[in-house]
Amino acid sequence: MVTKIGLTGGIGSGKSVISRLLRIMGIPVYDSDTEAKRIIATDHTVRRQLSALVGQDLFRNGELNRSLLAAYLFGKPDHAEGVNRIVHPRVKEDFVRWTSSYEGKKSLVAMEAAILLEAGFKSEVDFVVMVYAPPEVRIARAMKRDGSSREQVVARIHSQMSDELKRERADFVITNDGETPLIPQVLELISLLSENNHYLCSAKK
Ligand SMILES: CC(C)(COP(=O)(O)OP(=O)(O)OC[C@H]1O[C@@H](n2cnc3c(N)ncnc32)[C@H](O)[C@@H]1O)[C@@H](O)C(=O)NCCC(=O)NCCS
Ligand SMILES: Nc1ncnc2c1ncn2[C@@H]1O[C@H](COP(=O)(O)OP(=O)(O)OP(=O)(O)O)[C@@H](O)[C@H]1O
């Protein structure tokens, strides 16, 4: 039976860094941002539904107008709901297929998703790990990485669940504030999950 870790945290918290550490330790990670983009680029039903929602210029010459989708999605909460209602069920199905391909081969896999809790992906994983970094650290990291403005990053933060709510719903919290060593926290997580201790709430910080 494959144990599925749900890795979440707000923009710039460091999920991708933790994912890289997990992959180095031989744990496959499903990157929901990447896979959602693949699904939007290749699933004709999803493309048709998104075009009907956002407008016919969402796809030009078959290519997604990413900035238009971002502006629409992060513009208003009901816009995000409309896009998510189309995309997330497909991502969930795809993750289930991806996980089943590891049955009998891997004991641990992970799903990285900034909106794991908001998108209802929690039902597809066995444990939720939140990556925490202070908001200002996250904003600075995302601005530096993406060349985004502070306003753009803050708008995306506001479209995601608060850290307080995520912390309440997580089974583990990994602190990635740039000062707390990361690798010992990841190793503790893996050793706990590998022993299949299902009374893990005590590990919650
Ligand atoms: C809107 C898009 C085109 C922006 O792409 P871009 O490369 O500019 O940004 P990126 O994908 O890195 O997202 C930036 C941040 O926004 C987050 N985010 C992405 N989609 C959503 C969403 N629907 N709701 C809240 N946050 C989101 C990401 O997790 C990340 O933290 C892209 O994020 C997208 O296609 N989103 C819709 C599909 C989706 O919901 N993906 C999330 C994983 S299921
Ligand atoms: N502990 C750290 N020290 C220095 N830089 C870091 C640290 N953690 C993450 N970063 C950097 O901050 C940026 C955001 O990290 P990362 O991409 O892992 O965040 P994320 O949670 O995946 O964000 P998003 O949800 O936007 O994809 C990256 O450029 C990454 O290299």
Query: 23 C-alpha to center of ligand 2: Å?
Result: 16
In whole angstroms, give the CA distance from residue 82 to residue 62: 21
Query: 97 C-alpha to center of ligand 2: Å?
Result: 28
Contact 102, 30 (CB under 8 A): no
Domain ranges of the chain: 1-28+104-204, 33-101
Q: Please indicate if the annotation marks 154 as binding a ligand.
A: no
Please name which ligand lies nearest the alpha carbon of 113.
Answer: 1
Which pLDDT score, from 0 to 100, does residue 67 have?
93
Q: CB under 8 Å to 172, separation ≥6 — which residues?
A: 127, 128, 129, 130, 189, 192, 200, 203, 204, 205
| Ligand 2 pocket check for 11: Cβ under 6 Å | yes
CATH for 1-28+104-204?
A: 3.40.50.300
Alpha carbon nearest to ligand 2 atom 8, residue: 14
Which pLDDT score, from 0 to 100, does residue 155 have?
86
ipTM: 0.93
Alpha carbon nearest to ligand 2 atom 29, residue: 145
Residues listed for the chain: 205
Which pLDDT score, from 0 to 100, does residue 205 have?
52
**Mind listing the pLDDT tens digit for each residue in 101-144?**
999 999 999 999 999 999 999 999 999 999 999 999 999 999 99
Atom of ligand 1 nearest to the CA of 91: 44
**Mind listing the pLDDT tens digit for each residue in 10-31?**
999 999 999 999 999 999 999 9
pLDDT at 5 over 90: yes
Which pLDDT score, from 0 to 100, does residue 62 have?
87
Residues near ligand 1 (Cβ within 6 A): 11, 32-33, 36-37, 40, 66, 69-70, 73, 80, 83-84, 87-88, 91, 113-115, 119, 156, 159-160
**Mind listing the pLDDT tens digit for each residue in 42-77?**
999 999 999 999 999 999 988 999 999 999 998 888
Which pLDDT score, from 0 to 100, does residue 196 have?
55
**Mind listing the pLDDT tens digit for each residue in 168-202?**
999 999 999 999 999 999 999 999 988 754 444 44
Query: 195 C-alpha to center of ligand 1: Å?
Result: 34
| Ligand 2 pocket check for 60: Cβ under 6 Å | no
115 Cα distance to chain centroid = 5
Which pLDDT score, from 0 to 100, does residue 201 have?
44
Which pLDDT score, from 0 to 100, does residue 16 have?
96
Band (164; pLDDT cuts 50, 70, 90):
very high
In whole angstroms, give the CA distance from residue 114 to residue 119: 9
Mean pLDDT for 149-168 is 92
